[in-house]
Amino acid sequence: MKTGITLYSATNEWVTRRYDLESLLAAVAERGIGPGVEIVGFQSIPTFPDVSEDFVRDWDRLLTKYDLVPTCLGSNIDVAQRTDRLLSDDEMMASLERQLDTAHRLGFGVVRIQIGANERVIEKVTPTAEKRDIKLGMELHAPEGARTPAILKVRAAYDRIGSPCLGFIPDFSATMRAVPPGELDQLASLGLAQEWIDRLIAEWEGTGAPFERFGRFAAAAAADGVPQPAIDAATMVFTMFGREPVESWRDIADQIVHVHGKCYGFDESGNEPSIDYPAIINLLADVDYRGWISTEWEGHVFMGPGTVDSLDVVAQQQALVNRVLGERASL
């Protein structure tokens, strides 16, 4: 298992222009939180989905200068980019092919795809991925997981298409053990009283599809006069923080092409209260996963610019991963 970062972790610093691409890569190298580098194409590259020759040259120069390795490029299919209608399957395929082409030119061996890529689009783009020697990794992100109905359909499509280029990217948001404390603080600041936070947690830990659980919470809270912005904000608890069992990652173990080491924050002992890192990292080691884990700090969804240094949190995540792997090696 090799560690690295997705630059998406530094969203706060990126959007507020504290870094440009070179200074961000330099900071990653200086703090030793590479060497793997993942990007979201539409975040890090001004001309994405295309890149100029100059950009490619500069990218190569930066990776060499800072001794970093391109791991995964996050693609998006903007199915609703047009105002008049949704993109057709052929248009979605064309968009994805442009992004694969750019990934190839920048040296990425894995392209992250999302559930928006339907099985027809995946099948159409597979020959291009094979030709480019790129693995397509469907992100398994909350509220989906390895065993949810939508992903079972993708797994069936993968079986039918039968290409070695098709795989999955587990994201630890799918298999969480608690709602991140920072999110609960945010909801409290929006006026959600403690009794409703307790009710929210109880629903989150309960049974049923995420939207059913949110629906029960929202109806009861609205009837009791809880402020609507607080109820709306609570949607995120059910869409971004998944309750799938950690063991479910075993189902797709031999199809894992990359991993998103999601994290939100760390306690004084260096543990992630909302994600059982020891259980997940040990599982990945058990199934002999040898690829990259990109540290993905997503606390920026509730912690704005200036509240925390994103790269410091990334370093804490990697320390925890290495601690778990170290303890395992010493057994």
Distance CA 104, CA 110 (A): 9
Site string (151-170) toward another protein, x via CB under 8 A = --------------------
Site string (216-255) toward another protein, x via CB under 8 A = ----------------------------------------
Burial label, 188 (beta-carbon count in 10 A; 0-12, 13-18, 19+): middle
In 144-227, which ranges are continuous DSSP H helix?
A: 149-161, 181-189, 194-204, 210-223
The residue within the footprint of another protein, chosen from 107, 116, 191, 215 (CB under 8 A), is 116
Bridge partners, 39 (sequence order): 73
Distance CA 222, CA 199 (A): 13
Show contacts with another protein in window 48-107 (CB under 8 A).
48, 76-83, 86
Residue 266 vs residues 86, 103, 289: alpha-carbon distances, Å: 41, 33, 24
Q: With respect to another protein, which residue has the nearer C-beta, 23 or 322? A: 23
Q: Are 194 and 230 in contact (CB under 8 A)?
A: no
The residue within the footprint of another protein, chosen from 90, 185, 198, 224 (CB under 8 A), is 185
In the set 141, 258, 260, 300, the catalytic residue is: 141
> Min. distance of Cβ 213 from another protein in angstroms?
17
Site string (281-310) toward another protein, x via CB under 8 A = -------------------xxxxxx-x---
Nearest by Cα to 71 from 122, 33, 128: 33
Q: With respect to another protein, which residue has the nearer C-beta, 40 or 226? A: 40
Distance CA 253, CA 287 (A): 6
Q: With respect to another protein, which residue has the nearer C-beta, 63 or 77? A: 77
> Min. distance of Cβ 92 from another protein in angstroms?
10
Distance CA 37, CA 54 (A): 20
Q: Degrees (nearest 5) of the Cα angle 283, 28, 237?
A: 50
Nearest by Cα to 221 from 203, 248, 241: 203
Distance CA 1, CA 266 (A): 21
Using rule CB under 8 A, residue 111 touches another protein:
no
Using rule CB under 8 A, residue 15 touches another protein:
yes
The residue within the footprint of another protein, chosen from 42, 94, 105, 119 (CB under 8 A), is 42
The residue within the footprint of another protein, chosen from 3, 6, 12, 318 (CB under 8 A), is 12
Using rule CB under 8 A, residue 181 touches another protein:
no
Q: With respect to another protein, which residue has the nearer C-beta, 40 or 68? A: 40
300 is catalytic: no
Ramachandran class of 59: left when φ > 0, alpha when ψ lies in -120 to 50, beta otherwise = alpha
Residue the block writes with tokens 């997981």: 145
> Min. distance of Cβ 206 from another protein in angstroms?
23
Q: With respect to another protein, which residue has the nearer C-beta, 113 or 321? A: 113
Using rule CB under 8 A, residue 40 touches another protein:
yes
Residues of this chain that interact with another protein (CB under 8 A) are 8, 11-12, 14-17, 20, 40, 42-43, 46, 48, 76-83, 86, 114, 116, 182, 185-186, 189, 300-305, 307
Q: Which residue numbers are catalytic?
A: 141
